Amino acid sequence: MKPNISIVGGGPAGLMAAYILSKNKFCVTVFDRKPTVGRKFLLAGRGGLNITHSEVKNTFIKKYGKASEKFKKLLDSFSQEDLRDFCKKLGEDTFIGSSGRIFPKSFKSSPLLRSWLSKLKEQKVIFNTNHDWVGWKKDHLVFINNKNEVLVKPDLTLFALGGLSWPKLGSDGSWIKIFEKENIKISKPQPSNCGFYVNWTDIFRKKFRGQPLKTIKLKHKNLEFKGEFLITTEGIEGGLVYTLSSFIRENINENGYAEVIIDLKPDLRIDQIEKRLSSEYPKLSLTNLLRKTLKLSNVAIGLIVELRNKKQIKTFEIKKLAYIIKNYKLILEKPFAIERCISTAGGINFESIDENFMIKNNRKTYVIGEMLDWEAPTGGYLLQACISNGAFVAKQIIREYS
């Protein structure tokens, strides 16, 4: 007889596990603390749902850092192409963007989620929302629903409770203390794909907050990437910063701060910059010189002036100015709060689970998705990993119990 399965957490990892299990005639109930499921998935699609990436598998897997080997089998079990095929079955064709990222043609997550949930209901999946999991009583799961205690005794449990980012959407990490009481090892949760604090002057902060710094190169130690990021009241954030955020965070953990270098004119060599600056020097003010000869944006010019206000450059000396433009040093103090980051690092240590993602000291319980101690950059890697993880565990259960 097939086991009765409870999935706790209605994000993409849990929903994919529910889809595959119910399609294979397993009795599945999904519990979620919120009134509706998939809230963070909907948020991910607010600016265009980046579902996965078209990189070749060997390159793709490297994005998971120290957990790369663990995730290879997940991608073998449910690949990028499998995810695209799944979207197509739900009525959402996908396409590869110029960056290699893959999106649904609608650019939205809501049509995909609606179709997904419709399929799950067709496959007899039961949804119990407004059920907040608060622990175990012997072999029962304990939920709070409308202030009432609800006890559930499944044959198997899959936890897909998410990390600690965007807690208003349901994943606040409250499960951590519960798991620690069961002697399940937890690696400290930390911000990932996050912004960082910078000690701006009041003048710079007020003038440039909310504005992007475009067409630049950001360097940290031996890593560098082209792109753009956003100036905020507190510091910097955005895609280019997120790409380096895990390395920057670890540098801050070690040294108390991190230094990044911005190349404000990556398409010009330093001697070309010197030549252009010299052509109009000293006829123009600093601001006009940078704008006319290099076509620097107002934000980039503001950064140069910001240094000048701090007396780090005292003259218009061309060589020094050209060097700063190519090697603008920015000190990052600490990551933004974990609640406002896109994802989190840390979570259930892989030592606490077996090769099938089952908790070693609870042989009927699996954990999947962002609860685990891994991280990846934005660009489709997060969603792909969560969905592939749900698919992998579902297939392991099917093999064992069918």
Average pLDDT over residues 23-47: 94
E strand or H helix that includes residue 330: strand 328-332
Q: Tell me: pLDDT of 220 over 50.
A: yes
Q: What is the pTM of this model?
A: 0.92
On the question of pLDDT at 317 being above 90, the answer is no
The radius of gyration of the chain from alpha carbons, rounded to an integer in Å, stands at 24
Read off the pLDDT band of 314 (50, 70, 90): very low
340: DSSP letter? G
The per-residue pLDDT for 309 is 54
Pairing of strands 156-159, 365-367: parallel
Residue 260: pLDDT above 90? Answer: yes
Tokens at 140, concatenated: 């029962």
Exposure letters 112-140 (e unless 16+ CB within 10 A, then b): bbeebbebbeebebebbeebbbbebeeee
DSSP 164-229: SSSGGGT--STHHHHHHHTT--EEEEEEES--EE----HHHHHHHTT-EEEEEEEEETTEEEEEEE
Nearest to 296 by CA among 335, 328, 254, 264: 264
Does the bond joining 3 to the residue before it have cis omega, within 30 degrees of 0? no
Residues contacting 352, CB < 8 A, separation 6+: 184, 185, 359, 360, 361
pLDDT, tens digit, 9 for 90 and up, residues 146-187 = 999 999 999 999 999 999 998 898 889 999 999 999 999 999
Query: What's the rounded mean pLDDT across residues 334-351?
Result: 95
Q: Which helix (H) or strand (E) holds 143?
A: strand 140-145
Give the pair of three-digit tokens for residue 208. 């440039």
Work out the mean pLDDT of the chain and round it to a whole number: 94
Count of C-beta atoms within a 10 Å radius of residue 147: 5
Q: What homologous superfamily does CATH list for 4-191+342-401?
A: FAD/NAD(P)-binding domain (3.50.50.60)
Note the Cα 362 to chain centre separation in Å.
Answer: 29
Q: What SS3 class is residue 377?
A: coil
Cβ distance 164 to 172 under 8 Å? Answer: yes
Query: CA-CA distances (angstroms) from residue 25 to 3, 18, 392?
Result: 10, 11, 17
Q: How far apart are CA 382 and CA 378, in angstroms?
A: 7
Residues 70-111: pLDDT tens digits? 899 999 999 999 999 999 999 999 999 999 999 999 999 999
Contacts of 339 (CB under 8 A, 6+ apart): 164, 165, 166, 167
The pLDDT, as a whole number, for residue 313 is: 53
- What pLDDT shows up at residue 316? 60
Percent of the chain at pLDDT exceeding 90: 88
Domain boundaries, the chain: 4-191+342-401, 196-332
Residue 223, phi then psi, degrees to nearest 5 = -110, 140
Alpha-carbon distance values, 78 to 57, 86, 168, 199 (Å): 11, 10, 30, 44
* Residue 189 · residue 163 · CB < 8 Å: yes
pLDDT-derived band at 312 (thresholds 50, 70, 90) equals: very low
Cα angle: 375, vertex 178, 358; to 5 degrees: 60
The pair of three-digit structure tokens given for residue 144, joined into one six-digit string: 């709070």
DSSP 8-state class, residue 245:
H
Q: How confident is the model at residue 361 (pLDDT cuts 50, 70, 90)?
A: confident
